[in-house]
Amino acid sequence: MTTSFSNLQLAPALARAVSEMGYESMTPIQAQAIPVVLTGQDVMGAAQTGTGKTAAFSLPLLQRLLKHENSSTSPARHPVRALVLLPTRELADQVAQQVKAYAQYTQLRCAVVFGGMDMKPQTIELKKGVEVLVATPGRLLDHIEAKNVVLNQVEYVVLDEADRMLDIGFLPDLQRILSHLPKQRTTLLFSATFSPEIKRLASSYLQNPVTIEVARPNETAATIEQHFYSVSVDDKYRALRQLVKSKGITQAFVFCNSKLGCARLARSLERDGLRTTALHGDKSQDERLKALEAFKQGQVDLLVCTDVAARGLDIKDVPAVFNFDIPFNAEDYVHRIGRTGRAGAQGQSISFVSASDQRLVVDIEKLLKTKIELEAVEFEEDKPRGRINTGRRAWGDDDPRDAIDTLRESQNRRPSHYASTTHVKQDPFFDKPYEEPSADDVKPVVAPDPLRKSPNIKPKRNVAALFKTTA
């Protein structure tokens, strides 16, 4: 099996674009998928993130669509012939940019539609006619209902990040969209894993698909150096700042589990002088695109984000990923750290583990089938006082609850001689035997003066009355 793009016999226009983009050798998913798609067969492909799935379906589709290439200005001569569906706006925009780059020397047109933006510019683009349409399911249905797009001449359908689309709840939308398409078509489904839900989807809409699986599901890239640091919740921020500085990290993703936590962390980092931007669900589409572009251009050092950015974002040469919060789903850990170490490059993954994260780390262990060692963080400002975080030993098959108890015990431990070495001075008066007082020592009892106040009682202050009682 060839691994060079030059041996694929692509059309000169496509080969030129690929060459100018600097691609020479194919990735495993490309080497296996492209020849199959060129034959017009259905494909069910699984590959870890960052392996070049976009080129694996884009190049053969464009190659087969070149027979429809024409210079006519009539929209009727440019119907939608290939439909690419993706779960998020960011992914749709990214894939569309890549398809346009591959097709730049052809007369094939490509457009993208997604939610969060005005439909009018998208409608104008669709009315001009496009051969390749990249879309998110919700916005595509809006255009279908508005009769802005017709899909009766679609020859190819791509369901990219299909597992993510099912997680979000797009299955009903997918079913409605697929009902508008011709029965005779080529369907390509790409997913991170072949879950039972994905297999059911494939059995419903794919015809005798060729299964391509180039990596063990949920396998992390060997080029990623993974670290897990044991820190308290209150020390996470200090640890993040120190490790960014000590490791000389120039750019990194920083993942949080919540939109609120993401926004707060980004503001704190900005106040400390770090070039930071946030990417989460409460951001408008325009704000999201600007944040991604600023990060790509190197104008931002830290992109603090939720899992909305964990899948599919192809940003080259990101040296590190921080898990400020351990993800609730172990599979999301794999997708998060997949943002670094792409295309054979070296990368770092740094995760902060607090006492409440023990079970989540055990889940990651089970998924990756490897033991995780927790490392200590020695803070620079604590060195003079001799205070260090002791960390933990390697995790084995221990019950996470036992691990939590051990961690708590280590934090609350006191020296065994603490009680015995602590002495309280005693008054010698109480060591003397009792003696009857003499008559001279007995003082007469004087009744207290009711008008005389104790020196320990402070006089009351005169306070203005807020309300006056009425008879």
* Tens-digit pLDDT profile for residues 148-157: 999 999 999 9
Which residue in 190, 237, 216 sits closest to 52, CA to CA? 190
Residue 426 lies in a domain: no
Residue 131 lies in a domain: yes
Prediction pTM value: 0.60
Are 280 and 365 within one domain?
yes
Number of independent structural domains in the chain = 2
Residue 362 and residue 395 in contact, taking contact as beta carbons nearer than 8 Å: yes
CATH number for the domain spanning 370: value is: 3.40.50.300
- Record the tokens describing residue 40, joined without a space: 């017009």
Residue 457 lies in a domain: no
Which residue in 34, 47, 91, 33 sits closest to 343, CA to CA? 47
213, 239, 272 - which closes a domain:
213
Are 170 and 258 within one domain?
no
Are 231 and 320 within one domain?
yes
| DSSP-assigned beta bridge partners for residue 212 | 45
Spatial distance between the Cα atoms of 360 and 121, rounded to a whole number of angstroms? 44
Are 157 and 187 within one domain?
yes
Q: How many residues does the chain have?
A: 471
Residue 456 lies in a domain: no
Are 87 and 111 within one domain?
yes
pLDDT in tens, the chain (471 residues): 457 887 888 899 999 999 888 888 888 888 899 999 999 999 998 876 567 788 999 999 999 999 999 989 899 999 999 999 998 888 898 899 999 999 999 999 999 999 888 999 999 999 999 999 999 999 999 999 999 999 999 999 999 988 888 878 888 999 999 999 999 999 999 987 787 888 888 899 999 999 998 755 556 667 788 999 999 999 999 999 999 988 888 899 999 998 889 999 999 999 999 999 988 877 777 787 788 888 888 899 999 988 765 555 667 678 899 999 999 888 788 878 877 876 667 889 999 999 889 889 998 988 888 889 899 888 876 665 545 454 444 444 444 445 545 544 554 454 444 344 444 455 565 566 666 666 555 556 555 555 555 554 556 667 666 655 555
Are 272 and 375 within one domain?
yes
3-state helix/strand/coil string of the chain: CCCEHHHCCCCHHHHHHHHHCCCCECCHHHHHHHHHHHCCCCEEEECCCCCCHHHHHHHHHHHHHHHHCCCCCCHHHCCCCEEEECCCHHHHHHHHHHHHHHCCCCCCCEEEECCCCCHHHHHHHHHHCCCEEEECHHHHHHHHHCCCCCCCCCCEEEECCHHHHHHHCCHHHHHHHHHCCCCCCEEEEEECCCCHHHHHHHHHHCCCCEEEECCCCCCCCCCEEEEEEECCHHHHHHHHHHHHHHCCCCCEEEECCCHHHHHHHHHHHHHCCCCEEEECCCCCHHHHHHHHHHHHCCCCCEEEECHHHCCCCCCCCCCEEEECCCCCCHHHHHHHHCCCCHHHCCEEEEEEECHHHHHHHHHHHHHHCCCCEEECCCCHHHHHHCCCCCCCCECCCCCHHHHHHHHHHHHHCCCCCCCCCCCCCCCHHHHCCCCCCCCCCCCCCCCCCCCCCCCCCCCCCCCCCCCCCCC
Give the distance between the most distant pair of CA atoms in the chain.
128
411, 428, 459 - which closes a domain:
411
- Record the tokens describing residue 402, joined without a space: 């036992």
Residue 436 lies in a domain: no
Which residue in 17, 163, 15 sits closest to 86, CA to CA? 163
Q: How far apart are the first and last CA of the chain?
A: 104
Residue 261 lies in a domain: yes
Are 178 and 234 within one domain?
no
213, 235, 263 - which closes a domain:
213
Which residue in 404, 402, 422 sits closest to 414, CA to CA? 422
Are 133 and 15 within one domain?
yes
- Record the tokens describing residue 426, joined without a space: 């005693």
Are 152 and 243 within one domain?
no
pLDDT digits (tens, 9 = 90+) for 450-470: 555 555 455 666 766 665 555
pLDDT of residue 213: 82
Are 242 and 188 within one domain?
no
pLDDT of residue 103: 94
Are 114 and 11 within one domain?
yes
Residue 244 lies in a domain: yes
- Record the tokens describing residue 116, joined without a space: 């969060």
Spatial distance between the Cα atoms of 405 and 81, rounded to a whole number of angstroms? 60
Distance of CA 7 to the CA centre of its chain: 37
Spatial distance between the Cα atoms of 134 and 127, rounded to a whole number of angstroms? 15
Are 182 and 56 within one domain?
yes
pLDDT of residue 399: 45
Domain span at residue 203 reads: 5-213
Residue 467 lies in a domain: no
